[in-house]
Amino acid sequence: MTMTTDHTGRTARYLDDLARLLDPLDPIERAEVLDTVREHLDSMIAELDQEPTDADIDRILTSLGAPGQVAEAALADWTNRTASSTTPAPQQRPALSRVWVPPVALAAIVLGSLSAPFLVPILVLVAGVVLLCVSPLWSPWQKVLGAVGIPLGLVPVLLATLVVMRTTSAGEQESLNAWAVIVPASAILSLAITAYVLVVGIRRASRWE
């Protein structure tokens, strides 16, 4: 249905007012909104099956809303879409990054190292090393430090314990004196490594809480 010049002028003024209010949008977004509103106007006028009267045009424009209302809704939608596209999605917490992982892994390594000759402690040690190595809480060199440095530092402690248990003669007293120096030094080194790896792991795990 062809509109009269007056009706065409009224809808054109409506679209012109809307276009000015949509100025903050980029040209492509603004053109899309105007095309959508124009198509809606044409569709509603075509459904009349008669030459639209002033009352018809008033009703159609009222149903669309004032240009300010349409522009406000379009700008709000554009702002929301822009914000959602620039806001990074929350990062998913990796597996085995909980606060319980560092103390459990290191306790297993320490206890397993101190009782290594027995089968069950060896399994505990292996479990602790695996947990340490697969967890994302430590860098590769920190994992090597914990998995190798802690057991090696505790080996003299374990050996000294076995020597003391098997020493029966006074002639072996000199070897015990040597162990008295080696054991504390290696134990302190091992505990220092344990404390360092533990603190690093807990700090990184706490960042995900």
For residue range 90-110, list pLDDT tens digits in order: 667 777 888 898 999 989 888
Residues 106 and 81 in one domain: no
Q: Residue 154 — pLDDT band, cuts 50, 70, 90?
A: confident
Are residues 65 and 110 both part of a single domain? no
pLDDT at 114 over 70: yes
- Residue 125 counted as domain residue: yes
Say whether pLDDT at 4 is over 50: no
Q: Examine the pLDDT at 24 and tell me if it is beyond 80.
A: yes
Structural domain total, the chain: 2
Per DSSP, helices labelled H in 22-100 are 27-46, 54-64, 67-86
Is residue 93 included in any domain, yes or no? no
Domain that holds residue 198: 101-206
Name the percent of the chain lying above pLDDT 70: 76
Residue 56 CA, chain-centre distance (Å), reads 55
Verify that 58 and 133 share a domain, yes or no.
no
Residue where one domain finishes, among candidates 86, 117, 145? 86
Residue 177 has pLDDT above 80, yes or no: no
Q: For residue 208, which of 56, 95, 126, 131 has the smallest C-alpha distance? A: 95
Based on the fold, state whether residues 33 and 109 are members of the same structural domain.
no
Average pLDDT, the chain: 78
Residues 31 and 108 in one domain: no
Q: Give yes or no: residues 198 and 175 share one domain.
A: yes
The CA distance from 133 to 146, in Å, is 9
5 pLDDT band, cuts 50/70/90, is very low
pLDDT 10s digits, 123-145: 888 898 999 999 888 988 989 99
Distance CA 34, CA 11 (A): 12
Exposed, middle or buried: residue 1 (CB in 10 Å: 0-12, 13-18, 19+)?
exposed
Question: Are 75 and 119 found together in one domain?
Answer: no
Residue 94 lies in a domain: no
Overall residue count recorded for the chain in this entry: 209
